[in-house]
Amino acid sequence: MNDQRRTRSHQKLSDYQDHNSFPAWATKDIEKMLQFNIMTGHANGTFSLYENTDRAQMAKIIAQFLEFWNTCRHLLDGRYLFMIESIKIKKQMEIF
């Protein structure tokens, strides 16, 4: 898959009929999820932020995130990769 296509989407919050219901504190994070195709909303033009996520939807979100991560992790510099690995090790050792 093409890195550029995978990492960028042209969808914006304003593309969704229910975008006015998004809390201000969440808009940047929702925009990132849209930008990187991790979440895309519903075919009816809504994002349905306040609806429950079912198992199939969550599986798709996780799969999209893992695909994004595998495609883009080489873009992170060594500092971030070191931090991520440190967190994994600390969790395994139950430090936090």
For 9-65, what is each residue's pLDDT tens digit?
A: 667 888 899 989 989 988 888 888 888 888 888 889 888 888 999 999 899 989 988
> Is the predicted pLDDT of residue 3 greater than 50, yes or no?
no
Residue 52 pLDDT: 92
Total domains in the fold of the chain: 1
Cα–Cα distance measured from residue 35 to residue 14, given in angstroms and rounded to the nearest whole number = 13
Longest dimension (CA), the chain: 46
Q: Which residue has the higher pLDDT, 38 or 96?
A: 38
Residues in CB range of 31: below 8 A, 6 or more apart: 12, 13
Query: Domain limits at 15?
Result: 3-92
